[in-house]
Each structure stands twice: as C-alpha cells, then as structure tokens.
C-alpha cells in the first residue's frame, strides 16, 4: 500500500533543515543567556553590561516566540531527541496526531517512555524496546530512518528520523492518509483497467513508436496470433510473423505514425496457425509525446470473421430460395436489371424462359407437402444441370425462370427449352414412388418481345399461359396476339373491379330437382353484363376475379344477394351458393355466413354451400376447420365437381359432406363414353353406401335423365330441368304470382 510514497520524505528535508536551524538557535540562545547570568552573578558586571544583557534577553524571547509559533503551526508533527534518546522538543501537531498527553510527552522524557505511552493509546503497534534499539543503532550509524505507520483510527503516517551532528535526531511525522487512499484508488483503477484490457474481446497491442516493438499485448491478441505474450513483448513484427504479413503490419504502422491521427485499416485477412484465415478490422492511434512526436502506437483489432460468415449466410438466404437453394425472386430482379442494362449497351439479345410444373398441386395433395418439397428439390437439381450456365431462379411454388444470353436467338432459347424438358423426362423417385412431372415453358426474346422488364416478363408469362392452355408440357414462344389477349385480359380485370358498384353483376338461378321432377331449390350463378362487351362468360371473369382477389368481395355480394332473395320466397326452397377456394384463405368465412343469415333472416337449413376440392388443397386443416364451423351454423355442405380431382375420396373420409355433386363432364359423355357411365354408376353406388344424396349436373337430354333414374340418382340439375334465368322467370316455382308479361306471353 505504501509503495510509491517514499518520494514524499525528500520533500521534508527543507522543513527539517529550517526546523533544525531554529532549534539550534534556540539552544544557543538559552546557553548564552545562562552564561551571561552566571558571569553576572560571579563578577558583578557594570550597569552597562546589565543593560546589554537585558536587551539580548528580549531579543532572544522574541526569537523563541517566533520559533514556537513556527513549530506549532507546522502541518507536520516534529520532535527532537538528544543523543541519549530523550525528548528535547516537540510541536503541538505531533501531540495532536497521536492524541498524546503533554504531561507525559515533554522535554526530558525518553523515547521508550513515549512509545509506551503511544502503545497504551493504541497508536503504536511495534515492540517499543526493539524499535528504540533499532532506531538508535541506525542513528548512531548516521542513517536516515524512513517508516510508514498506521494508527488505530486508520490514519497513515510517514515518519522520517534524520540524524543530527553531535548525536540525536530530528523526527517528522506527516499524515498521508488522503494520499495513501488516492494511491490505493489509483492502484485499484490500474488493476481494473488492466483486467478490462485483458478481458476485452478485441485485440489490443501497444508498440513504442521508434522501432515498433511490442510493449503491451492483451489476451485476445496473443490468442489470435497464437504467440505467447512473453515472446511478443520487446519484439518487432518481422521477429514473429511470416514476411508477407509482417510487411503488411509494418506498412500500416508507418502510415498511422505519419498521419499522427487515428487510422482505420479496413477488412483485412490474417492467417493464423490454428484458426485459419481471420478477417479483422483494425484502428491504429498514435499517442504523442509532449513534443508532438509519436511515442506509442495503440492498435485495436476486432475479429469479424464469424460476423462476416453470418452476414454472408444471411445475405445468401436473402437472395436464395430456402427449399432449393436457387436464386430467389429478389436475386432474379437484380440479375434481370443487370442483364437488361448490359443487353441495351451491347445490343445483345437474350431469352427469358418462364417454367411451370404441370399439376404440381395434385402431386402435393396426393403424396403430401413433404413429398412435394422433395419433388421440387429434385426438379431444381435437374434444371441446374440443364441450364449449363444460364441463370436459373425459383420465383415461388412450382414457378422457375431462366435467362440465357449469347448465341442466335430464338434458336439458342429453343435448344435450352428442349434440354430443360428432357431433364425431367425420366421419372422422379419420391417417397418410394415413381412420379412423372411435365414442364410448360413460355419464352420471350429481348428486344423483339420487349425492351423493359415489365414487358418481357408479361410476354413470357403470356406465352406460358398459352402453353398451359393449349397443351401442357409444351413450349410456346411469345407472339403478338398473345400480347393483345393479355392486354384485353388486364383491361377486363380492371373493369371487373368496379362491376359491383356499377350494378353490372346479376344473379341467375338454375333449378335443382328430385329425379321425379319435383323442384327442391336453385343454384345461384353470377352473371356479368359489361356495358360495351355485353355478357361476359363466367369461365372468363371468374378466374380473373380469383387471380386478383376480387372474388372475395364478389363472393360476399353473391352470398348476401342469394340469401336475401331466397328468404323472400313463399316456398321454402333451398338455395345453393358456390364458394371459391380464395374465400377460404382470406377473412373469416364462417363469420360472414353467420352474419348474412342473421341479416337476411334465411333459415340456415335452406342454405347449401358448394365447394370444390381446390378449397381443401392449399391448407387442408384450415379448410376443414372452416367447414366444421359452417356446418355448426346449420348450413349444408356439398362437394362440387366430384370425380374430377385426385383426392375426392379421401376428402369424403375427412369431412361429413351433405351431398355429392357429379361433374357435368361425366354426364355429357354418358351416351358416348362407357367409362363415363361406369364412373357415374360408381359414384352413385359409393354415395348410397355412405348414405349421401347425389345430384348430377349438366343433364340436358331425356336419355341422360333416364340413365340417372335407372341408377337411382337422387337429384338432377341442367338445361333439361331448367336454364339459369332471372328469378322472375321462376316466380311460380318459388310461390310468387307470375309476372303479367309472362302470363300474356
């Protein structure tokens, strides 16, 4: 604790010298006065001598007063001992420092008596006899004695015993408690800072500026370089590291020293023996001396290797599809923009290929999502091989896209498209099963089919739509009429957005009957009367509405309008309303149906909701949950287009449907295709076994009705029973009076 404080004793020498001179003068004065008085008594000096002596005594008293004032106002405790170790004099500060009694500590008392007194008061803890002997021995040898003592109240005192000529010594006592505390605090702070520097996760080194020798190396730096600190201290970079790296370090050091200010060394690689290549960021700071010249060089280095790897992984994930590890849509957009810029600058054509897996949703549904993912990964691998340097990305689901530059276009694109299709010609082995997948491809060429991203993508997509519509598994290049139809499609979709507000949508109702002809209800079918195009086919605007999401708003309008209409019929007939798969994915369908039933007052048992298996494919669990809530309202649920999908039978196991609706494609082929007849017969038999009513749609002839009656089909719907018409045309069936025009007609 007291180390570093010894320098303080030197500060007291001047004080001691002054005090010693004063004390000597004081003693000399006393001796002179004593001698004069004795001679006066012995020789009876003349009056002039008496006056002189009196004057000298006055002067001596004044000097003694000044000396006494000086001694007792010193900040140090001071005492003088003669050669016999007896106290000659001490000041008031000395008594106060240790709480000593002036009755004990007074001229003539021995050092030993004084120390026993201090021991009794608790201000001296050593052995008085031993201390006295040791001190007198040192004084006799002319040695200055310096010690530190701690009083019982915690004060720290610096004691200096200085020999005097002719024997004896002068002792000064200084209370250095505050200084000791400051030094202890400094020591603790230094220890704390040393620990902080030692345990910081960044590398810290300090070099002396002249020769760049290491003076400080913390634990992190030693661990990175894998060199013991003892070996690094005092060494230069070329003593420790390979030449190339040492040259790099020295060059950066010189740059920082020349700049005389902070210098940042951007990301740089350091090769380590055991940790491989590490990426560091280093900041160098010259520490200047009082003359402005660099004295030290501080280097702070952060190992960002792991962070860089994490950033690289995150960047890779941001630009790549997690399932196939192909570039994703974001990466494609960047690459596409660069390709367009380069093509425009070099007048170089390139091809854009939009690729879609045929019937992938069916594969997903039959084998499950895990198998579907495995199929996508396998297809992605094959496409990468077929690409042969062309850029390939996955845009989502089963959509892929390729870009190929160079060569003669469109011939180069055609060769690539053939190679891509050939890559999936062999069956995929997924989950122990052999699967055959096909690819439909749409191709657009820059610059003939477009010179900007929007046009090229739209035209490639239009070509893909044509490929899927005309012949799945085929390749189609963009043609001008495709663009025309695409623009017409977009215009139609734009008009569809405002069709409800403009009152262009209406409902037609098609009767549903028992096999004996009795009407049991109607199916509500949406119709669109365009102001300039006339009547637009549902087969055209319904898919547009589903693609754009408008089907949600339109479906709500149909549900509310159909329920309101049915609630007004005198006859309590059923009303059937179709639901789109999109309605199962957006909003709260069950809450909507419940609200409409309350609003219109329609009995839930009169409402029949028709769904296709498309509503179940995307998210089966969610769809079944919604259907159970709907059935809990009391409405009926019918499976529409039964037999056209791949999983209809499995859906019958998963949910208790109230009715099966045979798709009209089977009914229309009853008279020409024995297979259709067999399917219809099998569906009716299956439904009978499940105790489910069956309704056949698309009945247009008497023979079709007769076949269904023979097979004991429960219900029918079709032109033979009644066409979709405004409800006014079926007023009598719903219990209303016939309109006057209909009666007279």
pLDDT tens for residues 92-129?
Answer: 989 988 889 999 999 999 999 999 999 898 888 889 99
Q: Judge if 119 and 258 occupy the same domain.
A: no
pLDDT tens for residues 55-94?
Answer: 666 766 776 677 677 677 788 899 999 999 999 999 998 9
Q: Look at residue 11 and tell me whether its pLDDT is greater than 60.
A: no
Query: Which of 29-43, 49-63, 131-145, 171-185 has the lowest average pLDDT?
Result: 29-43
* H/E stretch holding 266: strand 263-272
Here the CATH number for the domain that contains residue 344 is 3.30.70.270
Query: Which of 190-194, 280-284, 341-345, 496-500 has the lowest average pLDDT?
Result: 190-194
State residue 366's pLDDT score. 66
User: What number of CA atoms fall less than 13 Å from residue 514's CA on the CB side?
Assistant: 4
d(CA 346, CA 106): 110
Q: Which residues pair with 64 in a beta bridge?
A: none
State residue 21's pLDDT score. 40
Instruction: Pick the last residue of a domain from 257, 277, 306.
Output: 306
Distances (CA, A) of 68 to 32, 88, 106, 352: 19, 13, 14, 109
d(CA 582, CA 547): 9
Strand 263-272 versus strand 276-288 pairing type: antiparallel
Mean pLDDT, residues 504-522 taken together: 95
Q: Assign 607 a pLDDT band (cuts: 50, 70, 90).
A: very high
Is 575 within the bounds of a domain? yes
Higher pLDDT, 42 or 569: 569
Instruction: Pick the last residue of a domain from 141, 175, 209.
Output: 175
Is 181 within the bounds of a domain? no
Mean pLDDT, residues 564-587 taken together: 93
Is 130 within the bounds of a domain? yes
Q: Assign 613 a pLDDT band (cuts: 50, 70, 90).
A: confident
Q: Look at residue 54 and tell me whether its pLDDT is greater than 90.
A: no
State residue 724's pLDDT score. 95
Q: Judge if 473 and 621 occupy the same domain.
A: no
d(CA 413, CA 456): 14
Is 694 within the bounds of a domain? no
Mean pLDDT, residues 486-512 taken together: 86
State residue 608's pLDDT score. 96
C-beta atoms surrounding 118 within 10 Å: 21
d(CA 165, CA 144): 13
Q: Judge if 251 and 282 occupy the same domain.
A: yes
The edge-to-edge listing of strands for the beta sheet with 263-272 is 213-217, 203-208, 294-303, 276-288, 263-272
Mean pLDDT, residues 26-36 taken together: 43
Q: Look at residue 27 and tell me whether its pLDDT is greater than 90.
A: no
Q: Look at residue 44 and tell me whether its pLDDT is greater than 70.
A: no
In the chain, count of helices (H) and strands (E)?
A: 30, 26
Instruction: Give the list of residues 6+ apart from residue 405 with CB closer than 8 angstroms, or none.
Output: 339, 342, 343, 348, 349, 350, 351
In the block, residue with structure tokens 């009767």: 511
State residue 739's pLDDT score. 66
Q: Assign 15 a pLDDT band (cuts: 50, 70, 90).
A: very low
Is 658 within the bounds of a domain? no
Q: Judge if 356 and 242 occupy the same domain.
A: no
Instruction: Give the list of residues 6+ apart from residue 241 with CB closer than 8 angstroms, or none.
Output: 225, 249
Q: Judge if 290 and 165 occupy the same domain.
A: no
On whether the CB atoms of residues 320 and 331 are closer than 8 A, the answer is yes
Is 549 within the bounds of a domain? yes
Q: How many domains does the chain have?
A: 4
Q: Judge if 159 and 259 occupy the same domain.
A: no
Q: Judge if 167 and 63 occupy the same domain.
A: yes
Is 713 within the bounds of a domain? no
Q: What is the DSSP letter of 427?
A: P
Query: Which of 332-346, 541-555, 589-603 has the lowest average pLDDT?
Result: 541-555
Structure token pair of residue 196: 């902080």
Instruction: Give the list of residues 6+ apart from residue 323 with CB closer than 8 angstroms, or none.
Output: 373, 376, 377, 380, 394
Structure token pair of residue 421: 């299709």
The closest of 24, 27, 44 to 53, measured between CA atoms, is: 44
pLDDT tens for residues 331-365?
Answer: 999 999 999 999 988 888 999 999 999 878 767 76
Instruction: Pick the last residue of a domain from 306, 335, 357.
Output: 306
On whether the CB atoms of residues 263 and 257 are closer than 8 A, the answer is no
Here the CATH number for the domain that contains residue 728 is 3.20.20.450
Q: Judge if 83 and 154 occupy the same domain.
A: yes
Q: What value does the mean pLDDT of the chain take?
A: 84
State residue 571's pLDDT score. 95
Query: Which of 37-51, 376-390, 721-735 has the lowest average pLDDT?
Result: 37-51
Q: Look at residue 592 and tell me whether its pLDDT is greater than 60.
A: yes
Q: Look at residue 203 and tell me whether its pLDDT is greater than 90.
A: no
Q: Judge if 222 and 295 occupy the same domain.
A: yes
- Expressed as residue numbers, the domain containing 727 is 493-652+718-739
d(CA 529, CA 465): 26
State residue 271's pLDDT score. 82
Query: Which of 98-112, 198-212, 481-495 has the lowest average pLDDT?
Result: 481-495
Q: Judge if 435 and 545 occupy the same domain.
A: no
Mean pLDDT, residues 32-60 taken together: 52
Q: Judge if 598 and 637 occupy the same domain.
A: yes
State residue 83's pLDDT score. 92
Here the CATH number for the domain that contains residue 251 is 3.30.450.20
Q: Judge if 234 and 133 occupy the same domain.
A: no
Q: Assign 533 a pLDDT band (cuts: 50, 70, 90).
A: confident
Is 435 within the bounds of a domain? yes
d(CA 114, CA 104): 7
d(CA 613, CA 630): 16
């Amino acid at each position: 604790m007291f180390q570093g404080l010894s320098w303080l004793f030197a500060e007291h020498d001047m004080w001691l010298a002054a005090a010693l001179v004063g004390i000597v003068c004081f003693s000399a004065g006393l001796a002179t006065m004593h001698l004069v008085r004795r001679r006066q008594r012995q020789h009876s000096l003349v009056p002039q001598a008496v006056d002189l002596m009196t004057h000298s005594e006055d002067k001596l008293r004044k000097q003694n007063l000044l000396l006494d004032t000086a001694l007792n106002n010193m900040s140090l405790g001071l005492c003088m001992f003669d050669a016999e170790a007896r106290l000659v004099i001490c000041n008031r500060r000395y008594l106060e420092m240790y709480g000593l009694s002036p009755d004990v500590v007074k001229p003539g008392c021995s050092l030993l008596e004084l120390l026993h007194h201090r021991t009794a008061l608790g201000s001296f803890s050593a052995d008085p006899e031993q201390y006295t002997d040791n001190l007198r021995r040192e004084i006799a040898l002319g040695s200055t004695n310096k010690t530190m003592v701690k009083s019982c109240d915690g004060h720290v005192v610096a004691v200096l015993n200085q020999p005097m000529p002719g024997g004896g010594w002068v002792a000064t006592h200084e209370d250095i408690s505050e200084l000791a505390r400051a030094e202890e605090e400094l020591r603790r702070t230094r220890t704390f800072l040393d620990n902080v520097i030692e345990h910081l996760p960044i590398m810290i080194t300090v070099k002396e500026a002249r020769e760049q020798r290491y003076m400080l190396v913390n634990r992190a730096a030693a661990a990175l370089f894998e060199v013991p600190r003892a070996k690094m201290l005092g060494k230069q970079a070329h003593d420790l590291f390979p030449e190339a790296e040492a040259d790099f370090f020295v060059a950066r050091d010189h740059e920082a020293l020349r700049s005389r200010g902070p210098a940042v060394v951007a990301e740089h690689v350091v090769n380590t023996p055991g940790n491989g290549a590490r990426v560091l960021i280093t900041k160098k700071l010259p520490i200047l001396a009082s003359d402005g010249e660099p004295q030290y060089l501080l280097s702070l280095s952060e190992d960002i290797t792991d962070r860089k790897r994490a950033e690289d992984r995150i960047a890779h994930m941001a630009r790549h599809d997690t399932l196939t590890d192909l570039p994703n849509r974001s990466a494609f957009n960047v690459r596409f923009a660069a390709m367009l810029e380069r093509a425009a600058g070099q007048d170089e054509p390139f091809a854009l290929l939009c690729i879609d897996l045929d019937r992938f949703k069916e594969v997903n549904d039959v084998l499950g999502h895990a198998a579907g993912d495995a199929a996508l990964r396998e297809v992605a691998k094959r496409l990468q091989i077929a690409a042969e340097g062309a850029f390939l990305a996955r845009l989502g689901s089963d959509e892929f896209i390729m870009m190929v530059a160079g060569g003669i276009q469109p011939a180069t694109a055609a060769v690539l498209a053939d190679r891509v299709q050939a890559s999936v010609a062999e069956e995929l082995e997924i989950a122990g099963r052999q699967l055959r997948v096909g690819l439909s491809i749409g191709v657009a060429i820059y610059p003939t089919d477009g010179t900007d991203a929007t046009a090229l993508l739209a035209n490639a997509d239009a070509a893909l739509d044509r490929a899927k519509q005309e012949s799945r598994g085929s390749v189609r290049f963009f043609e001008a009429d495709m663009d025309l139809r695409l623009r017409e499609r977009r215009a139609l979709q734009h008009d569809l957005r405002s069709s409800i507000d403009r009152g262009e949508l209406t409902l037609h109702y098609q009767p549903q009957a028992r096999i004996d002809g009795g009407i049991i209800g109607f199916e509500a079918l949406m119709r669109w009367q365009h102001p300039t195009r006339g009547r637009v086919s549902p087969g055209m605007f319904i898919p547009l509405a589903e693609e754009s999401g408008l089907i949600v708003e339109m479906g709500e309008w149909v549900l509310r309008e159909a329920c309101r209409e049915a609630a007004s019929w005198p006859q309590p007939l059923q009303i059937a309303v179709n639901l789109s798969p999109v309605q199962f994915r957006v909003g709260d369908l069950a809450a909507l149906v419940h609200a409409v039933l309350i609003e219109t007052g329609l009995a839930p048992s009169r409402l029949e909701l028709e769904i296709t298996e498309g509503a179940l494919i995307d998210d089966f669990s969610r769809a079944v949950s919604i259907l159970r809530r709907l059935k809990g309202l009391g409405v009926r649920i019918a499976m529409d287009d039964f037999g056209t999908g791949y999983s209809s039978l499995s859906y019958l196991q998963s949910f208790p449907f109230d009715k099966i609706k045979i798709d009209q494609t089977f009914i229309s082929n009853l008279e020409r295709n024995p297979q259709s007849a067999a399917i219809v017969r099998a569906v009716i038999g299956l439904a009978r076994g499940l105790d489910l009513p069956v309704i056949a749609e698309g009945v247009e002839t008497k023979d079709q009705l007769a076949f269904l009656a023979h097979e004991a089909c429960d219900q029918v719907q079709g032109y033979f029973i009644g066409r979709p018409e405004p409800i006014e045309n079926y007023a009598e069936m719903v219990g209303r009076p016939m309109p006057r025009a209909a009666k007279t007609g």
